[in-house]
A and B are shown apart, each in its own frame.
Chain A
């Protein structure tokens, strides 16, 4: 089910959501931006998004990804030090989604938040339901992208859980736009995805965060942050994604 927010307390404008809602959990997908200099944001202690009735009236803590832009020019070379981290998020009541306010990066300007999250209730009187892990297979006309063995999905009728972990890229393609087929990805997945990881020289408290996109079973990533392939900063995607079906 798609819906729009009815308001928020941090000056983010109308936010469009995709959702899958059940009695005891919801999967929500949205991408939003806000300006940390806005008076609404400045006045807020917790970021609140007001929405039409959800199927649950509160949730345990979930995680959403925030990203700031930090792109510098150095002697004609573009030096992308964009980064971000995980923010805590929860459903406060049927009509309010809350996001932790983290002010560490307010001076960076516009912030993007990716809500690709599952919000669950607890004490529902049953055990967790086990899914099935499926290794995600990828293909390219010329193979230049390699993914780690921790690249997989768990499929449900109306949503999936996706984890992708970057392995390596052929040197000649490291600065090119990337594209690869996700051969067995379940249908109906379209989303912008934060690609977390890679060193961040100018913002060492966090890793870099790039943006990728999935549509029609094709993965694309136009650019990566400067330290994307730094050793020990393994880039990954972690998302609960609603299917368009």
Chain B
């Protein structure tokens, strides 16, 4: 015979037959064990396994470490579905913060953080969702150790007003690239199907302090999927924007025209070609007149022979002409020519 815990007896705690009794702040709380419904995704299974592993590791802590977690838990609060803040035990907090850390690729921390950490709230100016593009723009940047956690739903009927329970984690380590975060691939990998124009997608986002596991407030948003994005990414030349049918002499390229200053920003690995001290990158799209011209930047040798020679490079940026696509020539000027050379930094333009 199994004796079920009863709220009639104060101080009773323990689990039996899927019922758990515990004492929190002088109150007896009974809870039924929850079992997930439906088929778990790979991510859900991994998350559950991680939670189980973290919970089991609680017993490996020293008494002092557990005491510190209890002390921190006295000042921390948890979300409650009953409309009031729930008390947290030290173990609850240990599992919760470490689960967040593990989700962001960090290791489990045995020592409790020194105190509760104020984490900023997510702010962005726009989010564009089309079948081909899922992108956040104008994200207010937060430096490491913060990473943005983004949860999104699959497409829902536009009439649904509260669909945030259908969101799943798209990524727990979004780092904006100068305010932009293109999560198209992550969205498609997680949700499995492209967003449908005219339908609605629900979004939750928050910053995660990866050093402590604390999170900021959840920012809730929703957006109607459009056929084409109204969001214009900043002007850049990257590897995926090179002409596929032309021989390229760069192994990586990021030329950014968005400074609004008298410079172009370069980060290019020039491989060179033939016996000419230059490299060409042919572009898939034309280069508008206002971005054509001449620029100069520093280079540093990056050869297998260990040469780190400082060099200067001149870049000629041409629009499409004579049947050729637009292209950029990276021509060696000062210093000893090394193949390959990394050309980087701001380059004056005229």
- Could you tell me which A residues sit within 8 Å of B by CB distance? 22, 24-25, 58, 60-63, 65, 84-86, 88, 92-93, 102, 104, 117-133, 150, 154, 156, 161, 163, 165, 196-197, 199, 204-207, 209, 232-236, 238, 240
Residue contact A238 to B256, C-beta cutoff 8 Å: no
Q: Which of B265, B298, B310, B333 contacts A84 (CB 8 A)?
A: B310
Which residue of chain A has its CB nearest to the CB of B298? Answer: A63
- A161 contact set on B, CB distance < 8 A: 262, 296, 348
Which residue of chain B has its CB nearest to the CB of A119? Answer: B346
Measured CB to CB, the closest approach of chain A to B319, in angstroms, equals 14
Residue contact A128 to B336, C-beta cutoff 8 Å: no
Measured in the bound complex, the distance between the Cα atoms of B265 and A58 in whole Å is 14
Measured in the bound complex, the distance between the Cα atoms of B299 and A61 in whole Å is 12
B259 near A: Cβ within 8 Å?
A: yes
Q: Which of B259, B297, B309, B348 contacts A124 (CB 8 A)?
A: B259
Residue contact B310 to A124, C-beta cutoff 8 Å: no
Which chain B residues numbered 174 to 199 have a C-beta less than 8 Å away from chain A? 178-180
Known: A133-B350, A154-B262. A60 touches B256 (CB 8 A): yes
Residue contact A92 to B143, C-beta cutoff 8 Å: yes
- B143 contact set on A, CB distance < 8 A: 58, 92-93
Residue contact B258 to A124, C-beta cutoff 8 Å: yes
Residue contact B350 to A131, C-beta cutoff 8 Å: yes
Residue contact A86 to B349, C-beta cutoff 8 Å: no
Measured in the bound complex, the distance between the Cα atoms of B296 and A190 in whole Å is 22
Residue contact B346 to A60, C-beta cutoff 8 Å: yes
Q: How many A-B Cβ pairs are below 8 Å?
A: 167
Measured in the bound complex, the distance between the Cα atoms of B107 and A40 in whole Å is 28
Residue contact A104 to B262, C-beta cutoff 8 Å: no
Residue contact B334 to A120, C-beta cutoff 8 Å: no
- B296 contact set on A, CB distance < 8 A: 161, 163, 238
- A119 contact set on B, CB distance < 8 A: 346
Q: Please, could you name 11 A-B residue pairs with CB atoms under 8 Å apart, sorted by A?
A: A25-B263, A62-B345, A117-B346, A118-B261, A120-B265, A122-B265, A127-B291, A161-B348, A232-B336, A233-B336, A234-B333
Residue contact B350 to A65, C-beta cutoff 8 Å: no
Measured in the bound complex, the distance between the Cα atoms of B334 and A204 in whole Å is 16
Contact code string B331-350 (vs A, CB < 8 Å = 1, else 0): 00111110000001110111
Measured in the bound complex, the distance between the Cα atoms of B311 and A236 in whole Å is 8
Q: Which of B257, B335, B337, B345 contacts A196 (CB 8 A)?
A: B335
Known: A123-B180, A161-B296, A236-B333. A207 touches B256 (CB 8 A): no
B167 near A: Cβ within 8 Å?
A: no
- A133 contact set on B, CB distance < 8 A: 294, 350
Q: Which of A60, A123, A131 contacts B262 (CB 8 A)?
A: A131
Residue contact A131 to B349, C-beta cutoff 8 Å: yes
Measured in the bound complex, the distance between the Cα atoms of B310 and A84 in whole Å is 8
Residue contact A150 to B333, C-beta cutoff 8 Å: yes
Residue contact A128 to B262, C-beta cutoff 8 Å: yes
B141 near A: Cβ within 8 Å?
A: yes
Measured in the bound complex, the distance between the Cα atoms of B294 and A128 in whole Å is 12
Which residue of chain B has its CB nearest to the CB of A233? Answer: B336
- Could you tell me which B residues sit within 8 Å of A by CB distance? 141, 143, 178-180, 234-235, 256-265, 267, 290-291, 293-294, 296-301, 305-312, 314, 333-337, 344-346, 348-350
- A104 contact set on B, CB distance < 8 A: 308
- A197 contact set on B, CB distance < 8 A: 310, 334-336
Known: A62-B346, A163-B296. A207 touches B260 (CB 8 A): no
Q: Which of B293, B305, B344, B348 contacts A61 (CB 8 A)?
A: B344
Residue contact B309 to A207, C-beta cutoff 8 Å: yes
Measured in the bound complex, the distance between the Cα atoms of B302 and A206 in whole Å is 11
Measured in the bound complex, the distance between the Cα atoms of B143 and A92 in whole Å is 9
Measured CB to CB, the closest approach of chain B to A128, in angstroms, equals 5
- B335 contact set on A, CB distance < 8 A: 196-197, 207, 233-236
- B307 contact set on A, CB distance < 8 A: 204-206
Residue contact B293 to A130, C-beta cutoff 8 Å: yes
Measured CB to CB, the closest approach of chain A to B290, in angstroms, equals 5
Residue contact B294 to A61, C-beta cutoff 8 Å: no
Measured in the bound complex, the distance between the Cα atoms of B306 and A233 in whole Å is 17
Measured CB to CB, the closest approach of chain B to A160, in angstroms, equals 9
- B344 contact set on A, CB distance < 8 A: 61, 63, 88
Measured in the bound complex, the distance between the Cα atoms of B349 and A94 in whole Å is 26
Measured in the bound complex, the distance between the Cα atoms of B348 and A233 in whole Å is 23
Measured in the bound complex, the distance between the Cα atoms of B300 and A23 in whole Å is 29
Measured in the bound complex, the distance between the Cα atoms of B259 and A126 in whole Å is 7
Residue contact B312 to A127, C-beta cutoff 8 Å: no
Q: Known pairs A118-B346, A128-B259. 14 more at Cβ < 8 A?
A: A22-B261, A62-B346, A85-B308, A85-B309, A120-B261, A127-B291, A128-B262, A128-B291, A129-B261, A129-B349, A163-B296, A163-B312, A236-B312, A240-B346
Measured in the bound complex, the distance between the Cα atoms of B311 and A102 in whole Å is 17
Measured in the bound complex, the distance between the Cα atoms of B293 and A85 in whole Å is 27
Residue contact B260 to A154, C-beta cutoff 8 Å: no
